[in-house]
């Protein structure tokens, strides 16, 4: 079976296996069942590069108390998101090259998801525990360890096969569940009202729901499982997941900006 046929409910508009990088790049100019997957995260790259530039010039000069720590928090987040989108876009462009290239870039695509999850927890806990750096380090290191162990597991080619697709999604949801631990910790310590500002709590919850929704839709192959062939070009589960990831990252950024203001505004900041 063609290595591209990972979803039995997508029945048409596959690109021919080309063994040619030029042919893969040429496919950017015509419509096929990876077009939306490619351009959705290509759009995400442009969007977050723009936001990274804008926020660097705007936020980090807003308060005299902002420092290299803020640059680190935002820098890690933007780097993680953009890296994820670059790896994803490249995978979808090159997936028709050959089975070897497909599996190589599919693994890198999965690693990109782990990277953005580390970046999400790192940046959220930086502001959630702005005056309690011990807990920021604990949760950031913990997420890095969890993601690294998951990455090692994914190096097994059999784990990336279609029959393990639901387990893959469950792994991602489980990693997302780890992110709820520091959020719950902060809410119990200071109360919902304070952490809404202190770490952009409600925005992070909404962002997490976007990620979980995308993973669930992807695992269940909704909606194409209901009408095989109808969503080959537009509306397939993988495309929906891409949109959910972009929305989740955008909402998370909104929460980060709110948390940045809270922790630097003289009227609300808790420590120098």
**Rounded to whole angstroms, how far apart are CA atoms 37 and 39?**
6
- To which residue do tokens 């690294």 refer? 148
Q: How many DSSP H helices and E strands does the chain contain?
A: 9, 0
Q: Consult the annotation and say whether 185 binds a ligand.
A: no
Task: Enumerate residues 6+ apart whose C-beta is below 8 A from 156.
Answer: none
CA torsion through residues 67, 73, 79, 81, sign? negative
Tokens coding 208: 């997490």
Could you give the residue ranges of the DSSP H alpha helices within 95-236? 99-128, 133-154, 165-190, 192-198, 201-220
Contact by Cβ (8 Å): 97, 18: yes
Angle at the Cα of 79 (from 20 to 36), degrees rounded to 5?
A: 45
- Whether residue 223 is preceded by a cis peptide bond, meaning omega within 30 degrees of 0, is yes
Nearest residue to 84 (alpha-carbon basis) of 107, 112, 104, 44: 112
How many residues would you count in the chain?
Answer: 272
Please give the biggest Cα pair distance in the chain: 63
Q: Is 92 annotated as a binding residue?
A: yes
Dihedral Cα 170, 86, 145, 70, nearest 10 deg? -120
DSSP-derived secondary structure letter, 159: G
Residue 252 marked in a binding site: no
Residues annotated in a binding site = 92, 238, 242
Residues annotated in a binding site for Zn(2+) = 92, 238, 242
């Amino acid at each position: 079976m063609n290595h591209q046929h990972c979803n039995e409910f997508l029945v048409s508009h596959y690109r021919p296996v080309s063994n040619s990088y030029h042919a893969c790049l040429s496919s950017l100019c015509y419509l096929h069942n990876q077009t939306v997957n490619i351009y959705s995260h290509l759009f995400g790259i442009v969007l977050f590069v723009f936001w990274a530039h804008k926020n660097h010039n705007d936020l980090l000069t807003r308060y005299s108390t902002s420092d290299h720590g803020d640059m680190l928090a935002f820098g890690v987040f933007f780097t993680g998101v953009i890296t994820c989108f670059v790896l994803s876009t490249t995978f979808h462009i090159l997936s028709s090259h050959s089975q070897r290239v497909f599996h190589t870039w599919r693994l890198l695509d999965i690693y990109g998801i782990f990277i953005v999850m580390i970046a999400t927890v790192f940046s959220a806990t930086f502001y959630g525990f702005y005056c309690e750096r011990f807990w920021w380090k604990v949760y950031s290191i913990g997420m890095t360890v969890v993601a690294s162990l998951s990455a090692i597991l994914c190096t097994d080619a059999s784990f990336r096969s279609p029959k393990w697709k639901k387990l893959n999604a469950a792994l991602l949801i489980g990693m997302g569940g780890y992110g709820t631990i520091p959020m719950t910790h902060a809410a119990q310590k200071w109360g919902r009202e304070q952490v809404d500002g202190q770490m952009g709590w409600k925005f992070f919850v909404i962002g997490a729901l976007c990620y979980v929704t995308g993973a669930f839709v992807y695992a269940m192959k909704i909606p194409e499982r209901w009408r095989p062939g109808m969503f080959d070009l537009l509306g397939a589960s993988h495309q929906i997941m891409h949109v959910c990831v972009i929305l989740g990252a955008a909402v998370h950024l909104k929460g980060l900006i709110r948390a940045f203001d809270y922790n630097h505004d003289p009227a609300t900041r808790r420590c120098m």
